[in-house]
Amino acid sequence: MDIPFEFFDLPENVVHVLCLNVSEHMDWLEAGAAALCPAERERAGRYVNPWHGRRYAYTRGLLRMLSSRFLECAPAGIEFSYGPYGKPRLNGARGLNFNVSHSGDWAAFGFAWGRRVGIDLESVADCHDCRSVARECFSPRELAVLEQGMDAAQAFCTLWVRKEAVLKAAGRGLDSLQTFCALDPVVELQDERGTPIQWRLNEIPVLAGHAMALATEGGPVRHVGFRL
């Protein structure tokens, strides 16, 4: 699997998004999983569903390989730390930020210099019982939009990925879902340290039957998508 050189030529004020089907690149990803640390190997083995464990190992290995290319170091030398809600970050990464999302066989990675990012990818087919979930998680404005839509699953999925992308960028948990409205292009939400931050939202039309959204910290940025 060849990742375009352009993916690693990442200017400031640009987010690069990489989307791939894990099942189509398993042989190549298997090699990357060799760089996992013991804690990551242990976590992969704890998944009840073996495929979920392999997907975690493959995507974490790919994350190490991608990060190492950006930082010009060995994949095994990448070290992570974690926020209060489990958001991973790169230790000593000189301003490189990332986020990862999974849905079925698909995985998406977002990278940016100097600003935090959050990315979420979901399958519309997985949005079961969406109205009851929305009543627990959506703001009044979002609920109104959901009720007006002809395709409730699509409307729910589109809003859900926007909300999740903000939470992931901010390093917050699901208990904050109702505290903001993801219909707006810019959302203000405190980060994990309690600092009010403006998060800019964009939808990314990549896969049929899916929804994907990107949240970025601060001012306007351009995003460029790559699909393998």
Looking at residue 14, the DSSP 8-state letter turns out to be: E
The CATH number of the domain holding residue 185 is 3.90.470.20
pLDDT at position 114 is: 93
Task: Among 81, 114, 147, give the residue marking a domain's end.
Answer: 114
Tell me which DSSP letter residue 214 carries: E
pLDDT at site 36: 94
Shared-domain flag, residues 164 and 212 = yes
Q: Which two tokens stand for residue 214?
A: 């990107």
Do strands 80-82 and 88-90 pair parallel, antiparallel, or not at all (unpaired)? antiparallel
* Secondary structure class of 130 (helix, strand, coil): helix
Please list the ranges in the chain whose pLDDT falls under 50: none
Residue 82 lies in a domain: yes
Q: Are residues 44 and 103 in the same domain?
A: yes
Say what the pLDDT of residue 196 is: 94
pLDDT in the model for residue 121:
96
Which of 114, 129, 149 marks a domain boundary?
114
The pLDDT value recorded for residue 172 is: 94
* Whether residue 89 is found in the same domain as residue 137: no
| pTM of this prediction exceeds 0.75 | yes
Of 75, 66, 71, 52, residue with least CA distance to 19: 66
Overall number of domains in the chain: 2
Based on the domain organization, do 89 and 138 belong to the same domain?
A: no
69 and 160 within one domain: no
Whether 1 maps to a domain, the answer reads: no
Q: Running DSSP on this structure, what letter comes out for residue 128?
A: T
Residue 149 CB-half CA count within 13 A: 17
pLDDT for the residue 40: 93
Residue closest to 19 by CA, chosen among 99, 108, 82, 138: 108
The residue from 89, 114, 139 where one domain ends is: 114
Tokens of 15: 């987010």
- 99 lies in some domain: yes
- Residue 103 lies in domain: 15-114
